A and B are shown apart, each in its own frame.
Chain A
Amino acid sequence: MFELAPAFWLLSAAALAAILPFKAVRAALCVLMPLVGLWQLWSMGIGASSHASLAGFELTLYSVTKVNFVFAVIFLLISSIAGVYAWHVSDRGQQVAALSYASGALGVTLAGDFLTLLLFWELMAVASAWLVFARREESSIRAGVRYLLVHVAGGSLLFGGIILFYGQTGTLSLQALSPEMGASAWLILAGVALNVALPPLHAWLPDAYPRATITGAIFMSALTTKSAVYVLLVLFPGWDLLIYMGLFMALYGVVYAVLANDIRQILAYHIISQVGYMVAGVGIGTALSMNGTAAHAFSHILYKALLFMGAGAVIQATGVSKLSDLGGLAPKMKGVVWLFMIGAFSISGFPLFNGFISKSMIVSAAGEAHYYGIMLGLLLASVGTFLHTGLKIPVFTFWGKDQKLEVKPIPGNMYVAMGLVAFGCTFFGVYPQALYAMLPFDAEYHPYTAYHLVEATQILTFTFIGFWVLRAKLAGEPYLALDTDWFYRRGAPVAQAVIVKPVNAFFGAGAKVRDGIAAYLASSFGNPRAWFGVNKGPSDRFDPDLERAPLGAGLAFILLVFIALFASIAILG
């Protein structure tokens, strides 16, 4: 059975969940199958691979390397814990989608060639879209369709790039690309950048994540962007452009998080911001920075899942998701407050939490590679992270003006899942060696130096003071902020004018000419006898009773031929 790639385990679990009648058994599959995959991955170890051939292509269904091992571990771990968080869900579609989605992410991560990667990439897009549709609200269904269309477009860019790459190199195996390769590398980059949520290709993320189901958003926050970060790490290490794009992402998310009002949308914009660090780490391209990318992806998945779980618990209990409608929940949701704050401290980079031990790696790597502007820019983004996730969301949700909301109890399994992730956030924060031992590249790093502690403490303390002075400005406001989804949500009339109308006009004119020619041919060739002056007039006035020779004439002719035939046989024979 170990011949089967871990991703296929999950996919067969999804198929099983599609037919199993018992809700609890399906929920157990969602929790246990990722753990089976994890056990398999761990026992196979680095270096394991499996090959197959399809239509003349040699495929590497999975190939465990030092780079993808750490990503695969965290994907399986978080899928299992998200399964615990979703234990109470009885919607079969969501369970099947979640398992397929995890399978897609794992397949992408372990794939050894472009074709396998592409297949799992598309599986991820479809399965994750289902987690948006499953909310069954009109706005979710519309957002889900937009999400799916954008990802199909991204998949096409990737596919186009892969075809060109195969044409250039004659191989499908994954390898680092260089800008000199031209269109193939850039198309692949565009396709991957879309899943990384690199602006301006990011708008699907803050559009869809706040509209996904409460439990589905946990999977989404963990899998799509981070599997793309892994692909970026393998294909585009050391691309200078990515350093600057990474910093741009980190700050872009911060600005929009000030303007966003939905708590899960604020978290979604901070995914973009945090992934910006990872992208910058890929761009810097040193062993330390790329270790930082892998470590930060690992940490980020844990604390971001915890934050989405906390926000989901608030929405589950109150039915409210907008910051401007929330407030005063702390006395009613004490456990959630504590757990959410652990996630908030982690993402903000407080010492002893896991954000500190991974974010600081990328920031230090920028400094060591002499990118001082980038280093300060990333520190600026980290101020924004603490400001929104650590202060704005909890202060206005749990404290602030008491909105007298009714708080329904949330299922116990949600607390269990949050507790597990919170343990992970603190465990790796206190004992970073457990994570560092899994990192792919050879670089030594010590997070708990006096300098780092001073830096983090002073920045965090004075960010807090700045927040306290200006906190009135940060209260949620009932507005939405325009983002690049405007182009495809409001671009329809323009697209109509530019793409649809000229094409329609061209084919319309063509059809007119075609009909004219057909009409001319029909009228002039419909009745050839008219050319010889016999019953002139158009063919449609042809009256067979009058103008066709009588039936008897034809029969007489045939009879005559037979007589001639027999006569000649009789005479000659």
Chain B
Amino acid sequence: MKKIHWILLGMVTLASLALQYFGPPHPHPHAWDSVPLFYCIFGFVSCVLIIVVSKFLGKVWLQKKEDYYEGDNDV
């Protein structure tokens, strides 16, 4: 990621915020629409949550060595 990419991302975010607050309102507003930057926070937190929770489940329970089933007399 070069600096220019981050600047572009920032501009996209600003444009979306401008559209959010100055654009036409949603006909069916949701309870969370009043939280500032809701979808930005939602995106970031969800992403971190998915990685951390899945990796945790993998480490403590689900992940096994690749030869786990090898040598089994399953079908």
Which positions in A face B, CB cutoff 8 Å? 142, 145-146, 149, 254-256, 258-259, 367-368, 372, 375-376, 379-380, 383-384, 387, 449-451, 453-455, 457-470, 473-474, 477-483, 488-490, 492
Q: In whole angstroms, what is the CA distance A458 to B16 when docked?
A: 7
Whole-angstrom distance between the Cβ of A407 and the nearest chain B Cβ: 24
Q: In the bound complex, do residue A481 and residue B28 qualify as a contact, i.e. CB atoms below 8 Å apart?
A: no
Q: How far is the CB of B37 from chain A (nearest CB, A)?
A: 8
Residue numbers in A under 8 Å from B62 (CB-CB): 259, 481-483
When the two chains form their complex, are residues B48 and A461 in contact, meaning their CB atoms are under 8 A apart? no
- Which B residues lie within 8 Å of A387 (CB)? 47, 50-51
Asked, given contacts A367-B30, A450-B19, A464-B9, whether A255 binds B50 with beta carbons under 8 Å apart, the answer is yes
Partner of A463, one of B47, B64, B68, B72: B47
* Nearest neighbor of A257 in chain B, beta-carbon distance: B54
- Chain A residues, CB < 8 A from B46: 379-380, 383-384, 459, 463, 466
User: Is the Cβ of B16 less than 8 Å from the Cβ of A463?
Assistant: no
Given contacts A451-B26, A454-B19, A479-B66, contact A461 B12 (CB under 8 A): yes
Contact B50 A259 (CB under 8 A): no
Query: Which chain A residue lies CB-closest to B37?
Result: A458
B19 and A453: CB pair below 8 A? yes
Beyond the given pairs A258-B58, A259-B54, 17 more chain A to chain B contacts, judged by CB atoms under 8 angstroms and listed by A's residue number, are A255-B50, A256-B54, A259-B55, A383-B43, A449-B26, A451-B26, A453-B16, A459-B43, A461-B12, A462-B44, A465-B43, A466-B45, A468-B1, A473-B55, A474-B51, A479-B65, A492-B73
B 1-40 binary contact with A (CB < 8 Å = 1; else 0): 1000000010011011101100111101011100001011
* Majority DSSP secondary structure for residues of B touching A: helix
B29 to chain A, nearest CB (A): 9
Chain A positions within 8 Å of B31 at CB level: 372
In the complex, A380→B39 CA distance in Å? 11
Q: Tell me the nearest residue of chain A to B75, going by C-beta.
A: A145
How far does the alpha carbon of A359 sit from the alpha carbon of B57 in the complex, in Å? 28
Residues of B at the A interface (CB closer than 8 Å) are 1, 9, 12-13, 15-17, 19-20, 23-26, 28, 30-32, 37, 39-51, 53-55, 57-58, 61-66, 68-69, 72-75
CB <8 Å contact, B58 and A481: yes
Which residues from chain B contact A470 at a C-beta distance below 8 Å? Answer: 47-48, 51
Cross-chain contact A454 with B39 (CB below 8 angstroms): yes
> What is the CA–CA distance of A469 and B52 in the complex, to the nearest angstrom?
12
CB-based nearest B residue for A457: B16
User: Are B9's CB and A480's CB within 8 A?
Assistant: no
Give the interface centre of B41, B66, B72 by most chain A CB atoms within 10 Å: B66
Instruction: Pick the residue among A367, A466, A478 that contacts B48 (CB under 8 A).
Output: A466
B13 to chain A, nearest CB (A): 5
Q: How far is the CB of B12 from chain A (nearest CB, A)?
A: 6
Cross-chain contact of B13 among A142, A368, A461, A466 (Cβ < 8 A): A461
- 7 CB contacts below 8 A, A to B, read A372-B30, A453-B16, A454-B17, A458-B13, A470-B47, A473-B51, A479-B58
Residue of B nearest to A458 (CB): B39
Which residue from A254, A460, A461, A478 sits with its C-beta under 8 Å from B54? Answer: A254
Instruction: Report whether A492 and B74 are in contact in the complex, using a CB–CB cutoff of 8 Å.
Output: yes
Q: How far is B32's CA from A372's CA once the two chains are assembled, in angstroms?
A: 10
C-alpha gap A258/B55 in the complex (Å): 7
Chain A residues closer than 8 Å to B47, beta-carbon distance: 383, 387, 462-463, 465-467, 470
Top 10 nearest A-B pairs by Cβ distance? A466-B47, A462-B43, A258-B54, A458-B39, A450-B23, A451-B26, A459-B43, A383-B46, A462-B44, A457-B16
Q: How far is the CB of A563 from chain B (nearest CB, A)?
A: 77
Expressed in whole angstroms, the Cα–Cα distance for A106 and B28 within the complex equals 39
Q: Please indicate the chain B residues that have their CB under 8 angstroms from the CB of A376 in the complex.
A: 32, 42
Which residues in B have their C-beta under 8 angstroms from that of A367? 28, 30
Tell me, rounded to whole Å, the shortest Cβ–Cβ distance linking A269 to chain B: 11
Contact between B66 and A455, CB atoms less than 8 A apart: no
User: How far is B63's CA from A479's CA once the two chains are assembled, in angstroms?
Assistant: 6
Q: Which of A368, A383, A454, A465 contacts B50 (CB 8 A)?
A: A383
Name A259's contact: one of B58, B65, B74 (CB within 8 Å).
B58
Interchain CB contact under 8 A, A465 and B44: yes
Tell me, in angstroms, the Cα distance from A288 to B33 when the chains sit together. Answer: 22
> Across the interface, do A480 and B64 meet the contact criterion of CB distance under 8 Å?
yes
Contact of B40 among A259, A462, A468 (CB under 8 A): A462
